[in-house]
Amino acid sequence: MKSGLQNDRMLRALARQPVDRTPLWLMRQAGRYLPEYRETRARAGDFMTLCSTPELACEVTLQPLERYDLDAAIIFSDILTIPDAMGLGLSFVQGEGPVFAKPVRSASDIKRLAVPDPNGELGYVMNALRVTRAALDGRVPLIGFSGSPWTLATYMIEGRGGTDFRTAKGLLVDAPEAAHRLLGLLAQSVVSYLNAQVAAGAQVLMLFDTWGGILSTYHFREFSLRYMAAIVDGISREHEGHRVPIILFTKGGGGWLSEIAATGCDAVGLDWTVELAAARQQVGDKVALQGNLDPTLLLSSCEGIRTEVSRVLDSYGPGSGHVFNLGHGITPQVPPEHVSALIAAVRELSPAYHR
Ligand code: CP3
């Protein structure tokens, strides 16, 4: 067993080594669709208190594992911890999502930013990882994560989610040097943040490039991919004699899979618009693949969900190298029993692909 884990399916699949069935975890597996999450969240009072109190972050990280047979835990945190630690003044406004009091707009705003100390301002994330890793006691691997530089930059520049990105895209065109300075600083911050996460107990890393797919191919290469590649180069891939795999997920990145795989990452996350069979043909000899059921389908009937799970498994086909997941995060409206149906389907249908 890898790393002394009781369940190392996820690590084996990421290394494209044989498994007995396809491992599975779900993006946003801890969250508002679970009543026990809403209860802890209410007790914490607000979202950032939940993230920054290690015992509470640990509690919600483990909630989906108590309920479901999942093959990995993902530390409960957020990608916006880095911009928050840079002093932008993060708050979560009810019904609006994240808002920054001090968005970054000009070259002089960017000059004032510094790489946060992962064991200082961000030390609460490391504490949450340490507490959670100990509580997991080797049941499944613990995933650490960060936003990609470009995705973090969109929130920092726009000051909120849910925009058309005109300010962020405008910076790339009208002040490319300032944009590169910001993205370079974010890449350095992410490298030190992820290395510290590994030291604190993360066994797998994932980079969320949620907004890479809104860029033109040229801008994606220049302003997103380049910095993700720098991060893959910069992180230590071994810890205590074990490899630490990294998964890159560009939502909407289906047209750039070969380039993403060429960064040297271990796995590529796919949204549901990509056909797994085609992705595997393109990059399956270099990386593992993670995905990619449309999370909206979790609102359909349990029979429908089972059919769609079988479609995803069938599209990847026989052999290792697939980590089952959604193509994006689970939404708050999903009934918890539908997640049970999804997990049962993966458990029952996937062994046939690993004989
Ligand atoms: O996957 C997990 O279970 C781990 C936890 C996790 C959260 N956010 C918890 C969270 C992870 C991996 C993230 C990543 C994240 N955060 C991303 C990248 C992935 C993606 O979904 O594209 C992004 C873009 C964010 C930024 C962010 N954080 C937004 C846009 C929001 C508001 C969303 C909303 O629905 O209100 C958050 C808050 C947030 N992060 C919540 C959770 C469970 C909801 C907060 C609450 O409880 O009110």
Residue 241, in any domain of the structure: yes
pLDDT in tens, 145-155: 999 999 999 99
Q: Are 67 and 335 in contact (CB under 8 A)?
A: no
SS3 of residue 146 by DSSP: strand
Residue 3, in any domain of the structure: no
pTM above 0.85, yes or no: yes
Strand order in the sheet with 288-293: 73-74, 142-147, 204-209, 246-250, 267-269, 288-293, 322-326
Angstrom distances, CA of residue 3 to CA of 111, 241, 246: 42, 9, 16
Residue 13, in any domain of the structure: yes
Q: Out of 155, 193, 227, 316, which one is annotated catalytic?
A: 155
Q: What pLDDT does 128 receive?
A: 98
Does residue 82 have its Cβ closer than 6 Å to ligand 1? no
pLDDT in tens, 76-134: 999 999 999 999 999 998 888 999 999 999 999 999 999 999 999 999 999 999 999 99
The DSSP H or E segment spanning 92 is: strand 90-93
Q: How far apart are CA 157 and CA 110, in angstroms?
A: 10
Residue 158, in any domain of the structure: yes
How many domains in the chain? 1
Does residue 76 have its Cβ closer than 6 Å to ligand 1? yes
- Exposure string for 252-291, b = 16+ CB within 10 A, e = fewer: bbbebbebbbebebbbbbbbbebebeebbebbbebbbbbb
Angstrom distances, CA of residue 283 to CA of 109, 157, 259: 40, 33, 9
Q: How far is the CA of 78 from the centre of ligand 1 (A)?
A: 6
Q: What pLDDT does 4 receive?
A: 84
Residue 174, in any domain of the structure: yes
Provide, rounded to the nearest whole percent, the portion of the chain with pLDDT above 90: 97
Residue 4, in any domain of the structure: no
CATH assignment of the domain containing 35: 3.20.20.210
Which residue range is the domain that position 249 belongs to?
9-354
Q: What pLDDT does 1 receive?
A: 62
Residue 118, in any domain of the structure: yes
Residue 214, in any domain of the structure: yes
Does residue 325 have its Cβ closer than 6 Å to ligand 1? no
pLDDT in tens, 160-213: 998 999 999 999 999 999 999 999 999 999 999 999 999 999 999 999 999 999
For the CA of 145, the closest atom of ligand 1 is 12
Residue 44 has pLDDT above 70, yes or no: yes
Q: Out of 9, 16, 21, 28, which one is annotated catalytic?
A: 28
